[in-house]
Amino acid sequence: MSYLAVDDDICALATVPGVSALAVIRCAGPHCIDKLADITNKPQKLKSCIGYQALFAEVRDGAETIDECVFVAFRAPKSPTGQNGIDIMCHGGTVTVRRILSLLERHGFRTALPGEFMFRAVHNGKIDVLKAEAVDELIRAQTDIAQEAAVKKLKGGLRSEFEVLHAHLIAGAAACAVQLDYGEEEAGETIEVMYRELDTSYRLCTELIGSYAKGRLMQEGAVVVLAGKTNAGKSSLFNRILKEERSIVSEVHGTTRDYVEAALDIGGIPVRLIDTAGLRSTEDAIEAEGVRRTELLAESADVVLYVVDGTQGCTPDDEERMRRYKRCIRVWNKTDSEHALPVPEVPLRTEEVLQVSGATQGVTLLGDSEHFDAWVATAAKTGAGEHELMQKLFAVLTAESNTGASLACSVSTKRQYLVLQRIEQNLKVLCEKLRYAKQHHFDMYYVDIQEILAVYAELVGETNPEMILDSVFSQFCVGK
Ligand SMILES: Nc1nc2c(ncn2[C@@H]2O[C@H](COP(=O)(O)OP(=O)(O)OP(=O)(O)O)[C@@H](O)[C@H]2O)c(=O)[nH]1
Ligand SMILES: [Mg+2]
């Protein structure tokens, strides 16, 4: 089935399935109102509905009433999709919704593909692809800050950033075009102007690409794992951070046997915080499986909070483990205890940590080595050090995503990111030619800029709607 079958009448549940007061079934397509009218008790009234008019009627399967619903009709072209459309507000619950959907199918509707309504809106020029992506981002936002960022994009924030880039590309193209008309004269000056404009575009592009790390972090979130030996206080810290008694805490070593997780908002970043089974060698098969899971989780985590019992100290095997993790925050717990040992100052040489984290994981090295090195002193029992730990965690999570900080909006879809990378690469090659070529061929430069502008058109969805289908709309929800 193709998105380009835009003359099909389509339908889908637009709300979450399950028990609820209401459900909305969305329909769109040239003949959807007429087709639907024939399965109601008020066919003529529905057929004569004007756009944005609501009607109360029954959905009927022959003589049988399936439900009493409110229908909201939309008339092309002044409709969300640009086509005729109808939203059926029926009662919620699984059976009613299933029966209405199956009735619609029997009357010539096809089940919509993911994002197909949105595709039609883009196809018919009702919204652009950037807005469609912003809507998807809004739906998926997990924190207030991510939601606010999505609204900004919905209102054209990201497009404004792209337009600045575009304006410089156009200025570069214009200078080149003028030179083509005037031949050899003042070629040096034109090269200067072109270089200035295209280099600015290149820098903007780099900045936008840099903002993707932040955008993705806000959107997709991060996994943070509490790991360490048994009895270190991981579960106590987990409960302290969540402000609830989620994990069982006891003085018995090996209390947590399997991992426990919870969702958390850390400065707008949706975080999956995971408490794990304490690390120790054990004969107990179940506990050993828990330890194996801890190791897997810690090694794949975005950040590990490695908790050490401050009354016992840090052993070489703790050090050995911490080096394995991509990004690790060292937590010296139980500082409130009378048996607490002094917090070690610098546990490891900076270069050593950076080398290990960079070489083995291929991660970008953090500029501020403090993120790795210094211990954070905590007392899960009293809450001491919690604030500092959270601050450090936020700093570590965002350390790689500060490059786009000056932009009002960050790039958050992989599609935009990949297209921007192509623009950046092409601009880099062209700028090098402008700077170092012994002879300048403006006709060739002009073709190069046109190619870059064509990729830009793809970025903002002005070309290749077929090509962007898979990457954009197939990831949307059905019914959107
Ligand atoms: N004094 C003091 N005791 C603590 C602190 N944190 C945890 N404890 C105690 O240490 C013991 C172990 O705490 P847990 O939170 O269960 O430790 P854990 O790391 O989850 O242990 P496992 O699940 O066995 O791996 C409990 O008796 C806690 O009350 C702290 O900050 N100060
Ligand atoms: Mg525990």
Count CB atoms within 10 A of the CB of residue 432. 10
Is residue 156 domain-shared with residue 279, that is, in the same domain? no
pLDDT at 367: 40
Instruction: Please report, for the domain that includes residue 350, its CATH number.
Output: 3.40.50.300
Beta-bridged to residue 23, according to DSSP, are 90
Is residue 225 domain-shared with residue 160, that is, in the same domain? no
Beta-bridged to residue 40, according to DSSP, are 59
Distance 396 CA to ligand 1 centre (A): 25
Instruction: Please report, for the domain that includes residue 33, its CATH number.
Output: 3.30.1360.120
Binning pLDDT at 50, 70 and 90, where does residue 286 land?
A: very high
Rounded to the nearest 5 percent, the helix, strand and coil shares of the chain are 50, 15, 35
Is residue 263 domain-shared with residue 285, that is, in the same domain? yes
Whether residue 4 is contained in a domain is answered as no
Instruction: Give the closest residue to 75 by CA, choosing from 55, 52, 94.
Output: 52
What gap in Å lies between CA 318 and CA 337, rounded to an integer? 21
Mean pLDDT of 123-143: 93
- Token pair recorded at residue 439: 């002879």
Whether residue 480 is contained in a domain is answered as no
- Token pair recorded at residue 208: 């936008």
Distance 236 CA to ligand 2 centre (A): 7
pLDDT at 408: 76
Whether residue 107 is contained in a domain is answered as yes
Bridge-based pairing state of the strands 222-228 and 269-275: parallel
pLDDT of 369 over the 60 cut:
no
Is residue 170 domain-shared with residue 237, that is, in the same domain? no
Mean pLDDT of 455-479: 76
pLDDT at 477: 75
pLDDT at 275: 98
The residue to mutate among 226, 236, 281, 308, having the most atoms of ligand 1 within 8 angstroms of its beta carbon, is 236
Q: Residues whose CB is under 5 A from ligand 2 (ion)?
A: 235, 255-256
Ligand nearest to the CA of 278: 1
What gap in Å lies between CA 253 and CA 238, rounded to an integer? 16
Share of the chain above pLDDT 90, in %: 79
Share of the chain above pLDDT 70, in %: 91
Whether residue 260 is contained in a domain is answered as yes
Whether residue 363 is contained in a domain is answered as yes
Ligand nearest to the CA of 338: 1
Question: Of the residues 352, 374, 401, which one is the last residue of a structural domain?
Answer: 401
- Token pair recorded at residue 100: 């209405």
Is residue 35 domain-shared with residue 58, that is, in the same domain? yes
Question: Of the given ranges (221-230, 393-402, 429-438), which has the lowest mean pLDDT?
Answer: 393-402
Binning pLDDT at 50, 70 and 90, where does residue 345 land?
A: confident
What gap in Å lies between CA 463 and CA 457, rounded to an integer? 6
pLDDT at 469: 65
Question: Of the residues 401, 421, 438, which one is the last residue of a structural domain?
Answer: 401
pLDDT of 300 over the 70 cut:
yes
Is residue 387 domain-shared with residue 247, that is, in the same domain? yes
The count of domains in the chain is 3
Instruction: Give the closest residue to 54 by CA, choosing from 42, 64, 39.
Output: 42
- Token pair recorded at residue 74: 């939309």
Whether residue 477 is contained in a domain is answered as no
Distance 236 CA to ligand 1 centre (A): 6
Dihedral sign for Cα atoms in the order 173, 175, 181, 187? negative
Mean pLDDT of 114-143: 93
Mean pLDDT of 158-182: 92
- Token pair recorded at residue 69: 């619903």
Question: Residue of the nearest CA to atom 2 in ligand 1?
Answer: 334
Is residue 261 domain-shared with residue 381, that is, in the same domain? yes
Whether residue 242 is contained in a domain is answered as yes
The 10s digit of each residue's pLDDT in 20-63 is 999 999 999 999 999 999 999 999 999 999 999 999 999 999 99
pLDDT of 438 over the 60 cut:
yes
Distance 280 CA to ligand 2 centre (A): 12
Distance 14 CA to ligand 2 centre (A): 41
Of 218 and 401, the structure prediction assigns the larger pLDDT to 218
Is residue 234 domain-shared with residue 365, that is, in the same domain? yes
Please, are residues 423 and 455 in contact by the beta-carbon 8 Å criterion?
A: yes
Mean pLDDT of 342-357: 57
Binning pLDDT at 50, 70 and 90, where does residue 95 land?
A: very high
Question: Residue of the nearest CA to atom 21 in ligand 1?
Answer: 231
Instruction: Please report, for the domain that includes residue 192, its CATH number.
Output: 1.20.120.430
Tell me if 414 CB under 6 Å of ligand 1: no
Question: Of the given ranges (69-73, 192-196, 468-472), which has the lowest mean pLDDT?
Answer: 468-472
**What's phi and psi for 2, nearest 5 deg?**
-115, 145
What gap in Å lies between CA 410 and CA 271, rounded to an integer? 19
Tell me if 357 CB under 6 Å of ligand 1: no
Element (H, E) at 323: helix 316-324
Biggest CA pair distance of the chain: 85
Whether residue 475 is contained in a domain is answered as no
The 10s digit of each residue's pLDDT in 398-433 is 887 765 556 778 998 999 999 999 999 999 999 999
Is residue 277 domain-shared with residue 377, that is, in the same domain? yes
Ligand nearest to the CA of 237: 1
Question: Of the given ranges (140-149, 193-202, 333-342, 364-373), which has the lowest mean pLDDT?
Answer: 364-373
**What is the span of the domain harbouring residue 146?**
139-208+410-461
Instruction: Give the closest residue to 172 by CA, choosing from 456, 461, 459, 463.
Output: 456
Question: Of the residues 401, 418, 443, which one is the last residue of a structural domain?
Answer: 401
Is residue 265 domain-shared with residue 351, that is, in the same domain? yes
pLDDT of 164 over the 90 cut:
yes
Is residue 421 domain-shared with residue 393, that is, in the same domain? no
Is residue 288 domain-shared with residue 391, that is, in the same domain? yes
> How does the average pLDDT of the chain come out, rounded?
90
